[in-house]
Amino acid sequence: HADGAMYHAKAAGRNNYQFFTQKMNLAAAQHFELESSLRGALALGQFEPHFQPIIDITTRRVHTMEVLLRWRRPSQGLVMPDSFIPLLEENGLIVPIGEWVMRRACEQSMEWLRMGLEPVPLAVNLSPRQFMHRGLVESIQRILDETGIDPSMIEFEITETALMQHGEHTMEILGRINAMGIRLSIDDFGTGYSSLAYLKRFPVKKIKIDRAFIKELEESAEDRAIVAAIIALSDSLQLSVVAEGVETEGQYALLRAQGCQYAQGYLFSQPVPRVNAQNLLERRAAA
Ligand code: C2E
Ligand code: MG
Ligand code: MG
Ligand code: MG
């Protein structure tokens, strides 16, 4: 009996070990597969920009469109950025792909202009890794020249954490981008590692309050106090302020009463493909 039990334990141990290595191999294989698919995705035309409106809180009209990247992966459908952007940042592919997003945004803006739609500024997300790429400013300039877009119709969204990294270098790049006439905003404000001093030092024009503070706005007096403080701070620094992740009429009403200027969230629209975004702009013109 004792021998039998021993035998079973050993066998189970060996099986667990095999199971564990199989799982590790599977994870590594999946990671490798994801990475090699991502390497080909740009050339295969699998990326597409989606658009989510940022609305003017008093008129509820579309004010800006944020460009949000999607990956149409064969046999997997639409893949959301949180499951591939971190990998693109890690392997540097965010540099060519980020450049592609910017170019697509500018081309789209020009197409809508040619269609006679009222101009709408487009907001493009920039990741920290893109700032480390020496050619960033030159590639932006090239895209502006080639598409002929008015730089005031483009905005870059940068997170606090990105702003705080590599301080002086980032500062110089932002100064050059700002000098080109492109506006800068701080994304996910209030969640990153940051210092309020940079609001004065960096040439930013807009703050986007992270949706973590909006989510329980109706239930939480603390969140209401934080949001009110961010709005007051933005006002006194003459910055525009956007509330992210607005999902309910109650949140909208509170933000409006607090004097928030702009809002974005599922209450108004989810991020949508180009054609649907175009419909939103056509409806805006009709309203
Ligand atoms: P973000 O720039 O903070 O974008 C806002 C995210 O919140 C989007 O997720 C949007 O779909 C989502 N969202 C908007 N309204 C609501 C709402 O009412 N409720 C909830 N629960 N969510 C809402 P998405 O599209 O999955 O993008 C995630 C993040 O991926 C973005 O966060 C941005 O950091 C990054 N990202 C997306 N596109 C690009 C890109 O082209 N370049 C770079 N570098 N990053 C990108
Ligand atoms: Mg953003
Ligand atoms: Mg955000
Ligand atoms: Mg975010």
Amino acid at 148: G
**Nearest ligand for residue 264 CA:** 1
Q: Which residue is listed with tokens 């805006």?
A: 284
Q: Phi, psi at residue 184, to the nearest 5°?
A: -120, 140
pLDDT digits 0-9 by tens, 1-34: 444 444 455 555 556 666 667 777 778 888 888 8
- Please name which ligand lies nearest the alpha carbon of 189: 3
Question: How does DSSP classify residue 219?
Answer: T
In the predicted structure, residue 120 carries a pLDDT above the cut 80: yes
In whole angstroms, give the CA distance from residue 283 to residue 117. Answer: 10
Q: In this structure, are residues 206 and 241 in contact, taking their beta carbons and an 8 Å threshold?
A: yes
Mutate to test the pocket of ligand 1, among 68, 91, 246 (most ligand atoms within 8 A of CB): 68
pTM of the full structure: 0.91
153-173 per-position pLDDT tens digit: 999 999 988 888 777 888 899
Which ligand 1 atom is at minimum distance from the Cα of 264? 15
Phi then psi for residue 173, to 5 deg, are -65, -45
SS3 call for 184 = strand
Q: Is 6 in the pocket of ligand 1 (CB under 6 A)?
A: no
Q: How many angstroms separate the CA atoms of 239 and 139, rounded?
A: 27
Q: Atom 12, ligand 1: which residue's CA is nearest?
A: 245
Task: Report the C-alpha gap between 187 and 241 in whole angstroms.
Answer: 11
Tokens of 253: 């009403």
Q: What is the ipTM of this complex?
A: 0.98
